[in-house]
Structure 1
Amino acid sequence: MEQKHILIVDDEAAIRDMIVAMLGKYSAHVCAEAESADQARNLLAARPFDLMIVDIRLPEESGLDLARDCHTLHPHTAIITMTGFGNRTVAKEALEIGVYGHLNKPFGSDQLLIAVDNALKRMDLEKQRQMYLNELEQLVERRTAQLSKTLHRMEMMQKGLRESEWKYRSILENIQEAYFRVDMDGRILMTNPSGMALLGFSGIGELCGLDVEDMCGMDAKNFVIEPEQMRTLRAVLREQGKISNFELSLCRRDKSRFTGLANMQVVTDANGEQVAVEGTVIDITRRKEMESRVRASERNYRIIFERSPLGMLRLNSDGVIADCNETFVELMGASKEQLVGFNPAKNTSSKMRKIIARALGGEVSVYEDEYTSVTGGKTIELRAIMNPVTPGKTPTEVIAILEDIGVAKKAQQELVRSLEANKQLVDKIPSLLIQVAEGGTVLQWNPVAESVLGIPAEEVIGKPLQDIDLDWDREVLVRTMNQCLEQEEHIRLKSMTFHRADGYEGVLGLTVTPLSSGPVAQRSLLLMGADITERLNLETQLSHARKLESVGQLAAGIAHEINTPTQYISDNTHFFKDSFEDIREVVGAYRQLFDACAERDVEPALREHIEEALEEADWEFLEEEIPQAIDQSLEGLERVADIVRSMKDFSHPGTKEKTVTDINRALASTITVSRNVWKYVADLEENFDEALPPITCLPGEINQVFLNLITNAAHAIGDKVGDGSQGKGRITVTTRHDDAWVDVLIADTGAGIPEHIAHRVFDPFFTTKEVGRGTGQGLNICRMIVVEKHGGEIDFTTRPGEGTTFVVRLPRR
C-alpha cells in the first residue's frame, strides 16, 4: 500500500494515540497530530496531507468549521469526521460539506481502516478525474483558441477597417464614463454621449437633434472652473505623458458645478509628436459629498463620545480598552493613561469577564452590580451595557456605555439629549427606543426596536403607532401615553406582553417619557425599554428555587422532628422485644413449676386459678403473636428511619460550591422522597451501575433535576393508565458511565411526546398540563442546571404511545 500522510485532529490525546496505533498496526501511513483547529490549520498550511480525521467537537470551534476551511483551501485533502454523540443531523451536515466518511465513537480498527482506505481511494480517483478533466479542458482550449484565431483572421480580412471603426464608435457611445479627445491647444476634438450628458447636453429632444461633433471645437477651458487645475493638468501631461485620478472642479453648460475625476494620456503621431490628449472623466460629486458626511459624522461621534455624561469606552476584539471618555475615567477613579491598554477581559471580576466575553462573541450584554475598579480602586453601583459592533460575522469591537445607577435618571435624560443630537449613537444604544409625536405618529424606531418587535423601521416611521401590525395591548399603551402628556411626567409600564409575526411571545418593560422642551405643537413621547422576557423567566426560576429551598428546609426540620421520636420508639421497641424474651423465660419457668406442682399435693383451687388466668390471657396466642408484632414494628420503624434519611439527603441545603457526590445514592434518596408521586401509577425499577464513579456537582440542584424528571414520568404514566387500578406503568432508572461521562436514564411507559411539540419541551413556561399541575418551568430548569451550571447534556427520545426516555449526561471532570 502506498504510504500516505494523515492528519489526526482531536482534543483528547488518548483518541489520537488510539487512531495512530490502529493505523500503524495495519498500514505504513505517516500520521501527524493536532489537538485544536488552529494547530491543524498551521500543519495543513505547512505541508500537504492526503487525509484529515477530525473530531466534530473541538474546544474552541466546531470541527465542521475546520472541515469547511480544509475543503476550500486544501481540496486535495480527504476528510473523515468523527463524533461521540451519534447525531444524524450533525452527520448529515458533515456529509453536505463534502467529507469522505463519518465515524461514530466508539469505533473499531476495522471501521477506521475501511473508512480511511475508502477515503484515500476516493481522493485518488477524484485527483485522476480532475487530471483528466484538466487535460480535456486544456485540449478544448487549445482547439478553441486555434479555431478562434482562424475565425478572427477571416473576420478581420472581411470587415477590415470599416468594422474596426464601427466597434470603436460603439464602445465610445455605450461606455458609462465620459470620453474626451482634446488637442494640445485645449479644443475638444471628440466626445461621447456620456461626455455630452456630463457637460449638460441632456434631454431626449436635445440629444436626438445633436451630434457628438456639434460639441467639437469648443474650448475645454469653458468647463474648467479653476485655471490653476488646467495648468497643472497640462504640465503633468507634458512631463509624464499621462495622469490618473486627477480631481477637477468643472461646470456644465447651465453653469452648475460638479467635481470630476480625470484619467488622461497623451496621444502621439508616428514621429512621436504629441498631437492630442484623450481619456475619461467621471462625476464624483456625490462620492465627495458622502465622504464629507462621513467625516462630519465621525466628528459628531467624537464630540458625543467625549462630551457624553455617560461613561463610554471601546474594546478591541481582544477585550483591550482602545479608547474611553473622561466620564468613564471619573467613574473608575483612574487616569486615562492607566485605562487605555488595560484588558478588563482578563484582569477584572469573573462576572465582568463573562459579560465582556459574551459581548466579544456578538451578544449584547448587560452588567448591573457593585463594581470595584481594578485600576483606581473605586467602588460604585455600576450598570454597563456592552454592544458589539459587527459589520461581519465576528465583532470588530465592543462599545460599552456605563453609568452610576445612583444618578440613573439624570444620565437617562442626558442620554436622550445625546440621542437627539446624533442618530449614530442612537443606533448603538442596546435599548428599545421609539419616539412618537403627540398625535401618535412614529418619529423614531431604532434597530433594537426592529429586532425586538420584528418590524423594520421603514414600515412604521411616519405611520400612527396604533396602526402598526403588532399584537400588543394598544389600549393600555395609548391610555398611558395620553396620561403621560397630561401629567408631563414619565410613567413606567412594568410589563406588557406582545406577539410577533414569527410566533415569538415576549414581555416588554417600557418607560414613557414626555419631551416637551419646545412649543406644544412639537411635543412628543419617548418610549424606552427592553424585552424583559428572559429576566422574568430568571425571576420565576429564582422564585421556584427559593420555594424549593423553603420546602427543603421544612423537610429537613420535619425529618429532624420525626427522627427524634422514631429513635426512642425504636429503642423502646427493642427494649420490649428483649424484655418479652425475659418474660417468656419466666412464664416458662412458672409453667414448669405449675406442672411440678401437679404431681404434688397442691390445692386444686390454686391450680384452677392459674389455668383460668393463662386461658383468659390466651397465653399461647400472645407468645406466638407478640414477637411477630414487635418485629413488624421494628421493620416499620426502620422504614421510617430510611425515609427520614432520604429526606435529609434530598433536602440538604444547596451550596454554591460543587462537591463530590454519589449519583446512585442521590437517585435512591430522590426515588424514596418521590415514592408518593409514582407508587400508585407505576412500578419503579433501579438499574444502577455499581461501579459508577462519584462526580463533582451541585447535589441539591442535581436532586431537583432527578425529582422533576421522575415526577414528569409519573404524570405521563398517570395520564395514560389513570389511577392505576387497571394496571400500572413502569419507570426505569438506569445509571452508566464511560471515560468522560456519567449517564442517568429515566424511562417511562407513558404516552410519549407528540412530534409537533417535541422541539418546545425545554422552552420556559411551555406545558401541556392543566392549570395547577405544572408551570412549564421544570424541564427548562433541568436544562439550565445540567447544561449551563454543569457543562452537561440533556436530551430525550420518545415514541408516541409507548413512552419517553430522558438522558442526563454529566461530565466526570
Structure 2
Amino acid sequence: MLRQNLGQWLSAIRVGQKISLGYTLVLGIAVSGTTAGFTVGHHYQQQADKREEHARNEVELLHRLQSRILQTRTHQQQLIPLAQYPEKFQDEYAHLLKHKAEIQEIWAEIKAFITNSSFLQDREHQTTISAFLQTYDRVPQLYSQQIEQRVERIRALNVEQAQKLMLEFTNSDLALKFDGISDELVDLIDRAYRELQAAESSQQQASRVAEKIVVTSIGLSIVIAIVLAILTSRAIAQPIQTLTNVAQRTTEESNFDLQATIVREDEIGTLAKAFNQLIHSVKQLLQQQKIANEQLELYSETLEFKVEQRTQELNQKNAQLQQLLEELQRTQVQMVQSEKMSALGQMVAGVAHEINNPVNFIHGNLTHVQEYAHNLLSFVQLYEKHYPDTAPEIEAGAEELDIEFVQADLPKMLDSMKIGTDRIRQIVLSLRNFSRMDEADFKAVDLHEGINSTLLILQHRLKDRPERPAIQVLRDYGNLPLVECYPGQINQAFMNILANAIDALEEANLKRTYQEIKESPSQITIRTSMIDSKWIKIEISDNGVGMPESVHKRIFDPFFTTKSVGKGTGMGMPISYQIITEKHGGKLDCFSILGKGTDFMIQIPVQQQIYNAV
C-alpha cells in the first residue's frame, strides 16, 4: 500500500521537483557518510593512540626495571674482588644502594600502572604481569637486606673471609631468584612490544575504517546519482521518445489506432493526453483507409522475424557470457591463491628477518667469546706452569671450581653454542628462500633450496603425531645447474604438489593402525636430475592410495576436487599446471596406480630465452 501511494505521489509531482529531490538525496548521503566516516575514524584513532601510549609506557617501565636489576646484580658481583679495597668497595656499595632505591620506585610505578590499566587488550598479558609482581614482590627487598647484612659482617672480617661470604651469597637461591626477575622480564618485554605493534596496527585500521566509510558513502552517492539519472531519463526522455515514436508510426503507417500510453500526471502526461485526442480526431476522419491496416500487418510480420533473429543472437551472446563467467571464476580463484602465497611469503620473510638479527649478534659474539675463553685458559695454564706451588687458598679455590673440568668443558660448550646458532641461521636462510613471493622477474636459482624451503614450511604436517609416525621424506638430488624461473611461483607449485602428497598419505593412514604405519612407513620421494643440457626433471612421488582413472583424467581440470567442502577449491593442481607449462614453458605429468601411489613429473628448461611468462 505504501509503495503504491509513493508511486502515485512521484508520478503526480513535476519533473523539476523530481530532479531537485534526487540531488538533495545524493548530497545528503554523501555529506552524512563523509561526516560519519571522519567521526568514527577520529573515535577509533583516539582509542588507538591511548593504546599505543599505554604500551610504550609499559615497555619503558619494564626496560627500566630490567636495567636496574642487571646493574644491581653486576654491582653486587663487583663487591667480591673489591673487598680488599675499602674505598672502592664502599663506592660500589653506594651504587648498589642507589639502584636498590630505583628498583623499589620502579616496582611501585609498575604496580600502579597495572592497577590503573584500562587499555590493556591482552588480559592474559595483564594476568602474567600481576603474577610476576606477586611472585617477586619480596625478592628485591630480601635481596637488598641480605646484601646489607653481609656488608655489615664484612667490616669485621678479613679480605678472604669477606670474598668467600660474598661469593656464597652470589650463588645462593635468593640471588638466583633475583636473577630470575631479569629472565622473566625478557618475556614480559616481548609481550609488551607485541601490544605496541597491535596498537600501531589499530591506528592503521582506524584510518582504513574511516576511508572505507567515506569511500562507501561517495560510492553510494555515485550509484544513487546514476540510478536517479536513469530514472530521470526514463521519466523525461523515454516518455517523450515513446510519444515521438507513436507520432512517427502514425504518420508513416497512417495507423490512427495508436495511442500514447499515459502513466504520469505531470507535464508529459498532459502532452500525451493532448496527442491522443489529436490522433482520435484524425482517426475519425480516416476510418476507411484500409491501406494503413495492410501496412500494419506487413510491419507486424517483419517485426516477428526480427524478434526471432534477435532472440538467436541473444542466445549466442548468453553462451559467450557464460564462458566468460567461468573464465572469470578461474582467474579469481587463481588471484586469491597467489595473494595468499604472497601474504605467506611476506610473513615468513618478516619472521626470518626478526630472528636473523639477534642470531647474527649472538653468532658474531661467540667468536670473540671463544677467543677470550681460549686466552684466559692459556693464561691459567701459563700461571700453573711458572707457579706450580701456589697458596693453599688458591688450590682450594681451584678445587672448588673444578678448574680442570672448566678448562675441558668450556670450549665444548662454546662449540655447541656455535653449532646451534649455525643451525638457526640455516633455518632462517631456508625461510627467506621460500619467501620469494614478490620477485616479479626471472632469476637463476637453486631449485633444491626452493624444495627444502617448502618442506620446511610443511614440516608441521610431516612430523610424527600420536596417531601416526612421521612421514618420511627421501631426497635423491642430482647435480642441477641454476635454473631461470619465477622463484615464488615455482615454490607455489612445489607447495601444491607436496601438500597433495601429504593429503594422500593421511587418507591412506586413516585405514591403518600406528603399528602398521610404523612397519610400512608413509614416504614422499623427491628425485632431481638432468634430462639433457637444456632441461631438468623433478619427480615427486608418494606411496599413498593412488587415484582411479576417473579422477586421474580430471586432475588438472579447474574446480575439480575429491576433497570435502571447505577443504579444497580444486584450483591447486590447475594453477601448478599453468605455472609449469604457461609461465615456464615446461611440462607437468601425473602417473598414478590405484592402491600404490602417485608420481608427479616436472620438466623445466634451464634457460627461458624462448619461454616467457604470459
Q: What TM-score do you get using the length of structure 2 for normalisation?
A: 0.44
Query: Which structure dedicates a bigger proportion of its chain to strand?
Result: 1
Q: What TM-score do you get using the length of structure 1 for normalisation?
A: 0.34
Query: Which structure dedicates a bigger proportion of its chain to helix?
Result: 2
Q: Looking at both structures, which has the greater relative contact order when contacts are Cα pairs under 8 Å and sequence separation is at least 6?
A: 2
